[in-house]
Structure 1
Amino acid sequence: MNKQYWFIILTYVLMHLSSIIGLPLLFAMGYEQTEAAGIWTISSFTICLIVVLLILRTAPKTTLRNKSKASVGASIGWAIGGIFLAYFSQIIAATIEMYIFRIDPGSENTEAILALIKSLPLVIVVSSIFGPILEEIIFRKIIFGSLYKKMNFFFAGLISSVIFAVVHMDFTHILLYTAMGFAFAFLYVRTKRIIVPIIAHISMNTFVVILQLNYDRILELQKELEKMQLIIGGFFS
């Protein structure tokens, strides 16, 4: 692994550790806990992404196992299909967790993110855009890419995906995050373009956040539709 990649990983680690200093400072300035967490999340992720992209520009330009990249058209197709692939892998993992391991589908990590977004809506930029970009650069391009040079897809994908899952600190759903990591790694290997899993990851995160934020409204709409069906059905009975 080249030195630029080590600097990127270090930047990412420091970003996560920065809250140890940043949050107490915001508390001292009078911010409440949730608001302070939201502000620091936005600030730290923004700075980290800028630094990572600047460092990445200086890194040697390589492709996975020196193979040519997929065409632009094929990459667009895989990016769109990758959204469904990632979501499908998530459904399979969630089903296994629920029916085999008896794990409830709710995620503490997702709930914490939603709480931050409700407190400070701008956090959605971090959860839906900045976070996925950083995670794909770190876990797919750097960690998976480095491992894939020395081992086959399964083991490189497994190791990088488990690390990806552990970093989310939601150990109950480690299978779910690992499955997602495999899906994104597959997209990267298939196209040799890191932008493809980035697009799929951004799209999936955005969809999940919007769905969760509007969950109550969706239930209300479903009830209204059921009432309309009953009324319409009454006319023809």
Structure 2
Amino acid sequence: MKREYKIVLLTYLIMQLSSPVGVPFTYYLLNGLGFSGKDLESRSLSLWLLFSFSAAFIVTLYCLRREMRFRSQKAASFPVSAFWASAGVFLALFGQLAAARIEMLFGVEPGSENTREIIGMIEKAPAIFLVAAVFGPILEEVVFRKIIFGTCMQRLGFFPSALISSLFFSAAHMEFEHLLLYTAIGFAFCYVYRKTNRILVPIFSHVSMNVIAILSQLDPKIFSMF
């Protein structure tokens, strides 16, 4: 694995594990600056998420800056890529729906606690929309599709590589009752990435899917805060 990929993986891991330290630090900092109120804890969490995801995003872009200058000879043309970028949204939504139906057969309640928490944070701090709809999906596609799936594909076939990548993707969301659901979504993004060899394709699909999911659940009044 490339050195740059290792740095990106380490950065992503640190970002994921940073909240227990970063949120109290942000709370202490805000409190020291004179901020107060019962919503200070939620503000601290929102600010730390925005900072940590933004920092990880910048580090990732810096590490991959050389790769972004060159187009792979195996990369699909723009029209083909545009088709699969759009198709990826529907494949992911279909996979999510099918997986949710299967989960219900085993008594798993529909709906995502993770999504509800994100919606709650966005309603209190609209800037978190950038984390959930932009920074998060981009980082996840780079880590789970470009690096993990791409590295596994050098030695394994599509299915084992997609399974490994998607299971890690699912575990990162910390909702193990929805393991099948996130794995199905991961497979959809692996598929469109494999079809085009352009990481921007699953990134577009993932960002679009998150935007749809968030906007469909947000209180319309939130837009007056932007």
What TM-score, normalized to structure 1? Answer: 0.85
Matched, 1:129 2:137: no
Q: 1:5, 1:59 within 8 Å by CA — same for their partners in 2? A: no
C-alpha separation between the residues in 1 aligned to 2:207 and 2:138?
8
CA apart distance, 1:20: 2.5
Superposed counterparts of 1:71-86, under 5 Å: 71-86=77-92
The answer for the alignment partner of 2:178 in structure 1 is 173
The answer for the alignment partner of 1:40 in structure 2 is 48
Bigger-Rg structure (1/2): 1
The answer for the alignment partner of 2:96 in structure 1 is 90
Q: How many residues align?
A: 213
CA apart distance, 1:134: 0.3
C-alpha separation between the residues in 1 aligned to 2:89 and 2:163?
20
Moved over 6 A (4+): 60-63
Secondary structure of 1:74's partner? helix
The amino acid across from 1:73 in the alignment is P
The answer for the alignment partner of 1:198 in structure 2 is 203
> Which is worse superposed, 20-29 or 70-79?
20-29
CA apart distance, 1:17: 2.1
CA apart distance, 1:18: 2.2
The answer for the alignment partner of 2:155 in structure 1 is 150
C-alpha separation between the residues in 2 aligned to 1:39 and 1:24?
11
Q: CA RMSD in A?
A: 2.0
Secondary structure of 2:75's partner? coil
The amino acid across from 1:39 in the alignment is L
**Structure-2 change in CA distance of 1:189 and 1:61 (3 Å):** farther
CA apart distance, 1:213: 1.3
Matched, 1:208 2:207: no
C-alpha separation between the residues in 1 aligned to 2:67 and 2:175?
32
Matched, 1:56 2:61: no
The amino acid across from 1:120 in the alignment is A
C-alpha separation between the residues in 2 aligned to 1:153 and 1:67?
20
Q: 1:23, 1:40 within 8 Å by CA — same for their partners in 2? A: yes
The answer for the alignment partner of 1:15 in structure 2 is 15
* Consecutive unaligned residues in structure 1, runs of 5 or more: 216-237
**Structure-2 change in CA distance of 1:214 and 1:118 (3 Å):** closer
CA apart distance, 1:214: 4.2
> Which residue of the other structure, out of 120, 126, 132, is the alignment partner of 2:125?
120
C-alpha separation between the residues in 2 aligned to 1:139 and 1:70?
20
CA apart distance, 1:21: 2.2
Q: 1:4, 1:58 within 8 Å by CA — same for their partners in 2? A: no
**Structure-2 change in CA distance of 1:189 and 1:62 (3 Å):** farther
The answer for the alignment partner of 1:228 in structure 2 is none
The amino acid across from 2:45 in the alignment is A
What TM-score, normalized to structure 2? Answer: 0.89
C-alpha separation between the residues in 1 aligned to 2:62 and 2:100?
37
Aligned-residue sequence identity (percent) comes to: 44
